[in-house]
Structure 1
Amino acid sequence: MSVYALESVFRPSAVALVGASPRPRSLGRLVLQQLREGGFAGAVGLVNPRYPHIDDLPSVDRLAALPFVPELVIIATPPNDVVATARDAADRGAKAAIVLTRDMGEGSDSYNAALGRLARERGLRILGPNCLGVIAPHARLFASFAAHAPAKGDLALISQSGAVAAGMLEWSRPRGIGFSAVVSVGDAVDVDFADLLDYFAVDRHTRAILLYVEHIRDARKFLSAARAAARAKPVVVVKPGRHARRADTMTHAAALATPDAVYDAAFRRAGLLRVHALDELFAAAETLSHLHIPQGKRLAVMTNGVGVGKLALDRLIEMGGERAELGASTMDRLDRVLPNGWSRRNAVDVLGDADGARYAEALDALLDDSASDAVLVMHVPTVLSAPRDTAAAVASVLAKRRDDRPRKPALAAWVGDDAAARRVLGATGIPVFESEADAVRGFMYLVRHREVQHALMETPPSLPDDVVADVGAARAVVESALADGRAWLDPAAVEQLFAAYAIPLARGIPCADAEAAGAAAQPWLAEGGAVAVKVWSVDIPHKSEVDGVRLGLASAEAVRAAAHTVLARARALRPDARIDGVTVHPMVVRPKARELIAGIADDPTFGPVLVFGRGGTAVELIDDVALALPPLDLRLAHELIGRTRVSRLLKAYRDVPAADERAIALLLVKLAQMAADIPELSSVDVNPLLADGDGVIALDARVGIAPVRRLHRGRGHPRFAIFPYPSEWERSITLANGTAALVRPVRPEDDGMFRRFFEKVSAEDLRLRFFSAVRHFSHEFIARLTQLDYARSIALAAIDPASGEMLGAVRLLADANYDTGEYGIMVRSDLKGAGLGWRLMRIMIEYAAWLGLRTVEGQVLRENTTMLAMCRELGFAVTTDPDDATVAIVRLQVTGGPPGRD
C-alpha cells in the first residue's frame, strides 16, 4: 500500500493508547508519559478496562467508547489481544496502528501472520509489531518508549532495530542533531522500509534519510522505493553482518557472492551511500546535504601545516581518491599571493604565519582551478595563526561564491578546540571536521555518492543491442535437462548454451573411461597439440579438491594414464559422488592472458547476481571480486570490472599488451542477458576465463539449473530485483491529423526534453494538470518525472521522430501490491484535438492490464470537462472526491484492455 495513510502515522489528528497503565515501568505507562511530555496537541484517549482513570486522564474499556475517532492507535497489549485490538481500531475508523508488543510469533498460524492479513483486508496501516514506535518532532508526536525525545531537525531515521534507534537518539542528543522523524519497523508485517522510503522521499521536513538495515524481505519493492528516494535526496545506509559467509556453496561464484557483498551491490545499484558505522551515518548525511557533488575525485588540499596536508593526501589515496595536480595558471597565481617557501604543489602549504587574507587569496585560486574537483581547507593552530579570523576569511570567500554554477565543493578541517571558528564556517554550509582523516572521508562520501548516482541513472534495456542470442535454443537445452531431473548441465549442454550466446568456450569431449579419453584426444595430438583431462562429476564443484585436472598431455598414453589416475583419485576421495568420467580439452596456450572469473550466483533475497574478479584455483583466497545486479549494459559492466584490483592488470604493462576489456564487458552483459532469458539458471561459474588482447575464452564452465521460484510480485522477470527498461513498449502511432509519433518509455536523460515540452504548454493547461499555477519546474520536479523505477512506475512519451520534441506523455504509478495504479496525462497545448491524449490513454490502460492491475484511477478537476468526457468514453466511472467537491475521481476496472473506439 506504499504511502497510503502514512500521514496518519506521523501527523495524526487524534491518538488512542490501548494498554495504557498506571503501573511503573510498564510499557503502557512509559508510552503515555512520553506522549504527554512530547506535547502532542491533538486528542489522546486511553483504553484499559481495569482502570477508569490513569493519572489525571479518563480511561475507557474499549476503543468504541472513546468520544472521538482516533486516527492513530498505539497498541501495548499482550500478544493474544493485539489482533482483536487492531480489528477494533479498524471498526472505530482508525487509519493506522503502532504495535509495540513483541513475541508475536512466526509462521502462517502466528499472531503476526493474522495481523498482516488484517492490515491487508481492512486497509489499516500497521507499524510493527516489536518496534520502538514513532517520534515525529515537527508534529510533537512522541509515540515511543525511547528514553528521550530528539530535537526538531531534517534527518529521517528508519531502523530495523529498536535498540539501535534508541542508541542513535542518545548518541545524537549531545551533538545537537535533530530529526524530522525516527521510526523502527520491527517485524514489519505491513509498513516496511519501502513504504517509509516512499513517504520520506517527498516529506518536506526531511533533507536526508538514514537507514539501519539488517535484512530485506521484498527486494524488488525495497529497491524500487530506494531508487526513487535516492533520486530525490541523500539516502545513507548502515548494515551489520559484513563477515557472514554462505555454507555449502557449489561454485566459486556462489562462494564469492557473500550475503553482505550482495547487499552492497544492491545498495550501490539503488543509489544509496553505504557506511560502516553509526556515527558515519550522520557525518555522511551532513556532508551530502550541504555540498554539491563533485565532477570527479581529485582533491586539492591547502593548509598552514604541510605535515597534516601530507597525511590528508595519504588518506585520500588509501580511500580511492586522487591527488589533484595544480594547473599552470593556478601555480602562477599562487606564486603571486603566497610568500617564498610555499610548497609549490598539492598540498598547498600557505605557511605557519598565514593570516585570513592569505587563506582567502589561496582559496580563491584553488576554487578557480579546473584541475581539481574539490578543495579541503585545513588549519592548525600556531602562535602566529588566528583561527577565528582565518575561518571568517574562508567563510567570506565561500559566501561570495554561493551562486556559482557549477559550484566546487569545499570542506574544512579546523584542528583544535575552537568551537567559535567552526560555527563561523558552519554558518556558510561548509562541513567542518576535527581531523584530516575525517575531512577526507567526508570528501569520499561525495565521490561515492556521485558513483552510485551514476549507477542509479542507468536503465539497461530488456534486450541490449550488443547481444544477439538464440534464446530458443538456449531454453531448449535447459528445459531438456530439467525434464531429465538434472540440477547441473553436462559439458555438452554447457557448450550448446554458451554457443547460443556466442560465449567462447574451450571445447570439451565427455569420455566415460580412460580408453575413450585417449581416442578423443587423438585428433588434437595428431596436429602436434596437447590436451587437458578433467574429472567429470556434477557432485564435485571444485575439481582441484580431488586433484581432478591434468594439463599439457602430449600423447595418447599420457592421456589414458592421466584419465585413469584422475578417476581413481576422485572415487577414492569422494566415494559419495556420481562420477561420469572425464572430459578432454585442447590446451589453450595464451601466455600473456589474465585469469579471471565471471559468473552468476543465486541470492535468496535479490535473485541472480553477476560476479566478476580474479580467477584461478585460489580465487576464494584472493577474494578480488565485484558484484552487480542485472540487468547490465556495457557501461555498468565496465564499471563492475573497474571495481576490482585485477582491472589494473588488464592494462598494458612491460611487454604485455592490454586485454580486450570490451570483450570482457560484453561477456558479462551476455551472462546477464542469459539470466534474464532463462530464469531457471541457478548458477553459472566461468573459471578460469582467459583474457588478452585477442579477446576472451572460457576454459571451464559449470551451470546449475532449477525450477523457477518466484521472488517478486508483479510482471517481469520472476527473479530479477531490478526491472529493466521496458523497450518492448516502444511503438509507432498515427494521430488523427496523419502525423506519426514514436511512443516510448521515458528515460532519465529526458530531462531537457521535458523542460522544452513544458514551454509549449499553456499556463491554464498546467493548472488543470497540477491543480495549481506552475511557474517554475525545479530539477527535483523534473527528476521525479524522468527518473523512473519501472517495477512500479512507467511514463510513456510521444515524440516527433523528425525533431525529437515531446508531444505529450502519460504516466502510471502502481501501488506496492500491484492492485491499483494512479495515472496522469498531459498533451502539448497546440496539439489538442489531434487524438494524442486518447491514444496515450489507451496505451496506458493496455500497460496497466499487462502489469496485472485491477484498477486505474486518477483525479481530475471538475472544470476539466474535456478530460472527464474522454474518461467516460474510455469506460471510467466518475465520482466526486469526498474531500474536495471541485475534484472528480475517475476509476476504471481493468479487464485486459479498454473499451471504446479504435
Structure 2
Amino acid sequence: MKLFYPKSVAVIGATKKEGKVGYAILKNLLKFNGKIYPVNPKYDNIFNLKCYKSVLDIDDEIDLAIIAVPNVAVPQVLEECGKKGIKYAVIISAGFSEVGNYELEEEVKNIIKKYGIRVIGPNCLGIMNTHINLNATFSKIFPPKGGVSIVSQSGAVLNAILDIAPLLNIGFSKVVSLGNKIDIQESDLLEYFLEDDDTEIIVLYIEGLKDKRFLKVAKKVAKKKPIIVLKAGRSEEGKRAAKSHTGSLAGDDVVYDTAFKEAGIIRAKTFEELIDLIHIFSTQPIMEKNEIGVITNAGGFGVLAADACADHNLKLANFEKSTIEKLKEVLPETANITNPLDIIGDATPERYEKATKILLEDKNIHGLLVILTPQEMTEPLKVAEILANLKRDKPLITSFVGGVSVKGAKSYLRKHGIPAYITPENGIKALSYLYKYSLIKVKEDYDPYLDKIEKEFLKIYEENKEIIKSLLDRPNEYKAKQLLKLYGFDIPKGYLAKSKYEAIEYAKKFKKVVLKIVSPQILHKTEAHGVIINPDDVGEAYDMLIKNALEYGKRKNINVEIEGVLVEEFIDGDKVELIIGGKRDEIFGPVIMVGLGGVFVEVLKDVAFGIYPITKDFAHEMLKSLKSYKILEGVRGREGKDIDYIIETLMKISVFMNIHKEIKELDLNPIFVFKKGGCIADARIIC
C-alpha cells in the first residue's frame, strides 16, 4: 500500500513559519527515504527543496499527499490531487464535523469518491512508517523501529504512547492517527496489518466506531496477530432505561465489550493497562499452556502468586524429576522444592540465575514469574541484569516488590524487554494475557449447526413473507408468539379472545389458564395489572383486564388500543425462568442477551451478551459467564435444566434477529426451561 510505502510525498500547505503544522510536517519528512515536494504558492523553496504552487505543477508521480491547509481550501486541494492522479492523502486540517461543519466534510467525501482517493483524516496528527523513516505528522516524537502498529482516534493519546515507548523497549512499525474517519476505517487498516510483515502486534485507541465491517475483520486478524484496544468515551446514553430489559442493559460500553470478546480482541480498561499490554505482547512469546512456574525469595509473596493463579485460570506446574534433582544441587537444604519455589530470603544473584535457568528448561513450565523482595544480600540490579541476559523461548515476567531499593532494577528490566511489576498478582495477570491469546488463536468460528439454522430460517422467511409482514405490523404478544411459532420456537397453546364469551370458551380447552391483556401500547403488562393467573371466573377476569388497561391509559395519558385478551394454557412444573433478549446495534447488528429472570436480571443484572453470529461454543461461554449458571446445572438436590435447549435458542434468536432487520428490540421474558426442553411464555417485539 503506497499509503505506508510511498516513493514520493507532497506536503500541501508546507511553510517556512516555525510553529505551524506545515513547517513541522515538512521538517519531520526530511529524513524520509524518498522524494519530498513542498506545495505552497507563497514560496520558491523551503528547507532547500523546490516549492510548487500546486501539485499539478510537479513533474513527477506523487504517491501520497499530506494536506495541511485551512479547512475551506481542502476541497480545491483535493480536486487538484484527483486531477494529478494521487491515490492516497492524509488530511491534517481540522474544522470539519468535529466542530459541526458537516457540509464541508460531505463536500470532501464527494470529491474523494469522485477521484477514488483513499483518505486518512481529516483532523488528524498524520501517519508514520518507521521502516522507511516516514514521519508524516507534526509530532516531535519519532519512535524506534519495532513490530507494533498503532491506530488512534486521539493524537494526544498517540503522542503519549510514543513518548513512553522508549522506556519500555517498545518499537513501532506503522502509526496512524485516524481523526474523523471520513474514508479509511479501522477494518481497512486491520486487513492491511494482517498481511504486513513488519506488524506483529496491533493496538487501537477507539472513541467510537463507524465501521460495520470491524467485527468480521477483527475476528480474522486476531487469530494471526494480537489486537489490543483501549475504548474510551463510555456512553451513559446507551445505559438509560429503554423500552425493554435488553435495551436498558445493553448500554454502549456493554456492546463494545461484547464485540471485543467475540472478536478475540484483548481489551485494556485503562491507559496504564494499555501500555502494560503493549509491553507484554511486544516483548514476550505467547504462552501455549496455562502451567507456570514461580520463583520467590519470600514465601508470603509466593502464596499471593498462587492465589492469583486461581483468579486468572493459571496452574502451578509440577516440576519434572530432573528439575527437582538439579534444584537440590544448587539450593540450600532449607529450601522447599515445590512450586512456588522459595529460594530463601538470603538468595544471591547467582542463586536466582541458577534457579531461573533450571525452571526455564522444565518442559512442564510454559511461563515463569520471578519475584524479588529487597534483602541485605539480594542486589536487585544485578539480578535484573542476569535475567535480562538469559536465553529463553518462554515468557519471563518479574515482580520486584518494593520501592526505592528496586526502582533502578525494574527500570533496567523494562528497558531490556522484561515486564516488571510491584506486585506478584500483576505478574500473574500478565502471564494470563499471554495464555488467553493462545486460546483466541485456536478458537473455531465456523459452526455447521448455525449454518443449518440460517438456511432453514431463510427458507421459512421466503415462503411466508406476507404472513410475516402482517405479524410484524404493530406487533403485540400474540403476534410475536405466532411469528416465533412459524420459525419452530415452542410457545404455550393459546387463543386471542375478542370478547369475554370467547375467553370463556377458549379457557375450557385447558386445565389451568393465564389471561393477558393484548395491546400495542402496553409493553410491560404487570405495570397495567394486565395478567391474571387461573381465575375462578374467566368472564370476570376478562372484564377486569379490560378495565385495568383503560385505567392504565388514563394514568399514562396514552390512548390504549385493546386488541383482545390472550387465553393461554398455564405452564406448570419444575422449571427455571430465563430471559433472552435482542437489540439491534447500528454498528454491530443484533446483540443478544441472556440471564436468569426475576431478581437475577432486575437487581443483580446477572446477564451475558453475544453478537450475531452466535456459535454453539460462544453461546455456552455466555451461559457459563453467568453467576447463576450453577442453578441451570442443578444445585442442592434440584435437577439441572436443559442447557442444550438454551444454547440452541440463543443461536436461533441471533439468526432470527439478523434476518428481521425491522426488529429493533426483542424480549422473551420469561422463557421456561425444564429438565428437557422449554417454551417461550412471554414475547415482546419492538419494530
Q: TM-score of the superposition, structure 2-length normalised?
A: 0.87
Note the alpha carbon deviations across 1:618-676, whole angstroms, 9 max, x for none: 62542222222222332222122222222233223211222222121111122223234
Unpaired segments of 5 or more residues in structure 1? Answer: 1-5, 706-902
Residue in 1 that maps onto 2:646: 664
Q: After TM superposition, give the deviation of residue 458 of structure 1 in Å.
A: 1.0
Residue in 2 that maps onto 1:262: 255
Q: Identify which of 280, 298, 315 aligns with 1:287.
A: 280
In 1, Cα distance between equivalents of 2:660 and 2:406:
62
Note the alpha carbon deviations across 1:114-172, whole angstroms, 9 max, x for none: 33333333233322111111122222222212232223332111112223223333343
Please give the residue correspondences for 1:45-444 in structure 2 after superposition, counting only pairs within 5 Å.
Answer: 45-54=37-46, 56-105=48-97, 110-220=103-213, 222-246=214-238, 247=240, 249-295=242-288, 297=290, 299-318=292-311, 320-324=312-316, 326=318, 347-355=340-348, 356-357=350-351, 360-361=354-355, 364=358, 368=362, 370=364, 374-387=367-380, 399=391, 402=393, 409-416=395-402, 418=406, 431-444=419-432
Residue in 1 that maps onto 2:10: 16
Judging changes above 3 Å, is the alpha-carbon distance between structure 1 residues 109 and 262 closer, same or farther for their aligned structure 2 residues?
closer
Q: After TM superposition, give the deviation of residue 93 of structure 1 in Å.
A: 4.1
In 2, Cα distance between equivalents of 1:144 and 1:110:
26
In 2, Cα distance between equivalents of 1:225 and 1:188:
17
In 2, Cα distance between equivalents of 1:238 and 1:273:
9
Note the alpha carbon deviations across 1:269-298, whole angstroms, 9 max, x for none: 323211122232332233234444445555
Residue in 1 that maps onto 2:563: 580
Judging changes above 3 Å, is the alpha-carbon distance between structure 1 residues 466 and 607 closer, same or farther for their aligned structure 2 residues?
closer
- Aligned 8 A contact 1:491 1:508 in 2: no
Q: Identify which of 22, 29, 33 aligns with 1:35.
A: 29
Q: Identify which of 495, 517, 527 aligns with 1:509.
A: 495
- Aligned 8 A contact 2:531 2:545 in 1: no
Judging changes above 3 Å, is the alpha-carbon distance between structure 1 residues 428 and 119 closer, same or farther for their aligned structure 2 residues?
same
- Aligned 8 A contact 1:17 1:73 in 2: yes
Residue in 2 that maps onto 1:570: 552
Q: After TM superposition, give the deviation of residue 495 of structure 1 in Å.
A: 3.1
Q: After TM superposition, give the deviation of residue 393 of structure 1 in Å.
A: 6.8
In 1, Cα distance between equivalents of 2:682 and 2:321:
55
Judging changes above 3 Å, is the alpha-carbon distance between structure 1 residues 648 and 110 closer, same or farther for their aligned structure 2 residues?
same
In 2, Cα distance between equivalents of 1:436 and 1:24:
49
Unpaired segments of 5 or more residues in structure 2? Answer: none
Judging changes above 3 Å, is the alpha-carbon distance between structure 1 residues 614 and 477 closer, same or farther for their aligned structure 2 residues?
farther
Q: Which amino acid aligns with 1:511?
A: A
Deviates more, 1:693-702 or 1:360-369: 360-369
Q: Which amino acid aligns with 1:441?
A: K
- Aligned 8 A contact 1:297 1:447 in 2: yes
How many aligned positions are there? 680
Note the alpha carbon deviations across 1:495-540, whole angstroms, 9 max, x for none: 333333432223343334666545543443xx3x4x3333322233
Q: After TM superposition, give the deviation of residue 100 of structure 1 in Å.
A: 0.9
In 1, Cα distance between equivalents of 2:544 and 2:313:
50
SS in 1 for 2:149: strand
Q: Which amino acid aligns with 1:244?
A: E
Q: After TM superposition, give the deviation of residue 613 of structure 1 in Å.
A: 2.0
Q: Identify which of 610, 630, 639 aligns with 1:648.
A: 630
In 2, Cα distance between equivalents of 1:383 and 1:244:
52
Q: After TM superposition, give the deviation of residue 604 of structure 1 in Å.
A: 1.0
Q: After TM superposition, give the deviation of residue 239 of structure 1 in Å.
A: 0.7
In 2, Cα distance between equivalents of 1:366 and 1:152:
29
Residue in 2 that maps onto 1:831: none
In 2, Cα distance between equivalents of 1:171 and 1:136:
18
Please give the residue correspondences for 1:585-664 in structure 2 after superposition, counting only pairs within 5 Å.
Answer: 585-591=568-574, 593-616=575-598, 619-664=601-646
Judging changes above 3 Å, is the alpha-carbon distance between structure 1 residues 83 and 474 closer, same or farther for their aligned structure 2 residues?
closer
Q: Identify which of 670, 675, 678 aligns with 1:696.
A: 678
Judging changes above 3 Å, is the alpha-carbon distance between structure 1 residues 299 and 243 closer, same or farther for their aligned structure 2 residues?
farther
Note the alpha carbon deviations across 1:338-379, whole angstroms, 9 max, x for none: 667767865443332344447745874697475x76442322
Judging changes above 3 Å, is the alpha-carbon distance between structure 1 residues 365 and 126 closer, same or farther for their aligned structure 2 residues?
closer
- Give the fraction of aligned pairs with identical amino acids, expressed as a percent: 28
Q: After TM superposition, give the deviation of residue 217 of structure 1 in Å.
A: 1.9
Residue in 2 that maps onto 1:849: none
Does the alignment pair 1:491 with 2:474? no
Residue in 2 that maps onto 1:823: none
Residue in 2 that maps onto 1:459: 446
Q: After TM superposition, give the deviation of residue 72 of structure 1 in Å.
A: 2.0
Judging changes above 3 Å, is the alpha-carbon distance between structure 1 residues 415 and 585 closer, same or farther for their aligned structure 2 residues?
same
In 1, Cα distance between equivalents of 2:522 and 2:295:
58
SS in 2 for 1:650: helix
Judging changes above 3 Å, is the alpha-carbon distance between structure 1 residues 300 and 502 closer, same or farther for their aligned structure 2 residues?
farther
Deviates more, 1:550-559 or 1:537-546: 550-559
Judging changes above 3 Å, is the alpha-carbon distance between structure 1 residues 386 and 252 closer, same or farther for their aligned structure 2 residues?
same
Judging changes above 3 Å, is the alpha-carbon distance between structure 1 residues 44 and 99 closer, same or farther for their aligned structure 2 residues?
same
- Aligned 8 A contact 2:457 2:656 in 1: no
Note the alpha carbon deviations across 1:763-810, whole angstroms, 9 max, x for none: xxxxxxxxxxxxxxxxxxxxxxxxxxxxxxxxxxxxxxxxxxxxxxxx
- Aligned 8 A contact 1:236 1:272 in 2: yes
Judging changes above 3 Å, is the alpha-carbon distance between structure 1 residues 171 and 554 closer, same or farther for their aligned structure 2 residues?
farther
Judging changes above 3 Å, is the alpha-carbon distance between structure 1 residues 618 and 648 closer, same or farther for their aligned structure 2 residues?
closer
Judging changes above 3 Å, is the alpha-carbon distance between structure 1 residues 483 and 507 closer, same or farther for their aligned structure 2 residues?
closer
Judging changes above 3 Å, is the alpha-carbon distance between structure 1 residues 55 and 10 closer, same or farther for their aligned structure 2 residues?
same
Note the alpha carbon deviations across 1:820-870, whole angstroms, 9 max, x for none: xxxxxxxxxxxxxxxxxxxxxxxxxxxxxxxxxxxxxxxxxxxxxxxxxxx
Deviates more, 1:329-338 or 1:306-315: 329-338
In 2, Cα distance between equivalents of 1:28 and 1:143:
10
Q: Identify which of 660, 665, 673 aligns with 2:655.
A: 673
In 2, Cα distance between equivalents of 1:588 and 1:110:
58
Q: After TM superposition, give the deviation of residue 77 of structure 1 in Å.
A: 1.3
- Aligned 8 A contact 1:330 1:369 in 2: no
Judging changes above 3 Å, is the alpha-carbon distance between structure 1 residues 150 and 80 closer, same or farther for their aligned structure 2 residues?
same
Q: Which amino acid aligns with 2:81?
A: A
Q: Which amino acid aligns with 1:286?
A: H
Q: After TM superposition, give the deviation of residue 460 of structure 1 in Å.
A: 2.8
Q: Which amino acid aligns with 1:284?
A: L
In 1, Cα distance between equivalents of 2:565 and 2:325:
72
SS in 2 for 1:440: helix
In 2, Cα distance between equivalents of 1:31 and 1:23:
12
Judging changes above 3 Å, is the alpha-carbon distance between structure 1 residues 195 and 366 closer, same or farther for their aligned structure 2 residues?
closer
Q: TM-score of the superposition, structure 1-length normalised?
A: 0.68
In 1, Cα distance between equivalents of 2:595 and 2:325:
45
- Aligned 8 A contact 1:165 1:184 in 2: yes
- Aligned 8 A contact 1:571 1:579 in 2: no
In 1, Cα distance between equivalents of 2:244 and 2:202:
37
- Aligned 8 A contact 1:342 1:350 in 2: yes
Q: Which amino acid aligns with 2:84?
A: R
